[in-house]
């Protein structure tokens, strides 16, 4: 099958298939008759693996590493567990930072509900410049009390 056929079958763009081919994750055969790249059932299975891996948060480098382990005849499952543990830790840290940002945004809106627009003409935006971050402010107060 050709690029567009594989892409349609797998629910990705032709550019995605071409990209994975360029970086060596897919290995189509060049047709002698017309010079087009032809993808095999094995390429289809590999692409399914890549898509599933990306949905689980694995980077292309991770995927290449996992495939490399498999191609060397090693079971890639221990590596896969190690990599997903690392990705989960990174995702959890990002999630916690996102929650802090969300809380900060809610606090800003609550503070701004009682503030007039353009209260100080010399400020760029008086709302932002007058914002007191309750998360950092309470942490700073606690730190000062500990000193």
| 87 domain residue, yes or no | yes
Taking the alpha carbons at both ends of the chain, their separation in whole angstroms is 70
**Total number of domains in the chain:** 1
Signed CA dihedral, 89, 93, 96, 101: sign only: negative
Rounded to 5 degrees, φ, ψ at 31 are -70, 130
| 19 domain residue, yes or no | yes
pLDDT tens digits, one per residue of 107-146? 888 888 877 776 566 667 777 777 778 767 655 556 556 6
pLDDT tens digits, one per residue of 21-33? 999 999 999 988 8
Q: For the whole model, what pTM was predicted? A: 0.73
| 41 domain residue, yes or no | yes
Q: How many CA atoms lie within 13 A of 63 on its CB side?
A: 20
Reading the block at residue 66, the tokens are 């996992």
- With beta carbons less than 8 A apart as the criterion, state whether 135 and 108 touch: no
Residue 66 structural domain: 3-114
Q: What is the pLDDT of residue 124?
A: 73
pLDDT tens digits, one per residue of 43-66? 999 999 999 999 999 999 999 999
| 60 domain residue, yes or no | yes
Count CB atoms within 10 A of the CB of residue 104.
Answer: 15
| Per-position DSSP letters for 119-145, written without gaps between them | S-TTSS-HHHHH---HHHHHHHHHHHH
| 35 domain residue, yes or no | yes
CATH number reported for the structural domain that contains residue 76 in this entry: 1.10.1660.10
Query: What is the distance between the alpha carbons of residues 65 and 88, in angstroms, rounded to a whole number?
Result: 18
């Amino acid at each position: 099958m050709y690029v567009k056929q594989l892409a349609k079958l797998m629910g990705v763009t032709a550019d995605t298939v071409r990209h994975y081919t360029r970086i060596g994750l897919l290995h189509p055969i060049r047709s002698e008759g017309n010079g087009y790249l032809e993808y095999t059932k094995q390429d289809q299975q590999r692409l399914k693996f890549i898509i599933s891996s990306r949905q689980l948060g694995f980077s292309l480098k991770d995927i290449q590493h996992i495939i490399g382990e498999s191609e060397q005849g090693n079971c890639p499952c221990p590596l896969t567990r190690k990599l997903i543990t690392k990705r989960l830790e990174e995702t959890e840290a990002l999630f916690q930072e996102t929650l802090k940002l969300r809380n900060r945004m809610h606090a800003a809106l609550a503070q701004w509900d009682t503030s007039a627009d353009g209260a100080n003409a010399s400020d760029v935006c008086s709302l932002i410049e007058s914002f007191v971050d309750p998360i950092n402010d309470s942490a700073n107060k606690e730190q000062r009390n500990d000193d």
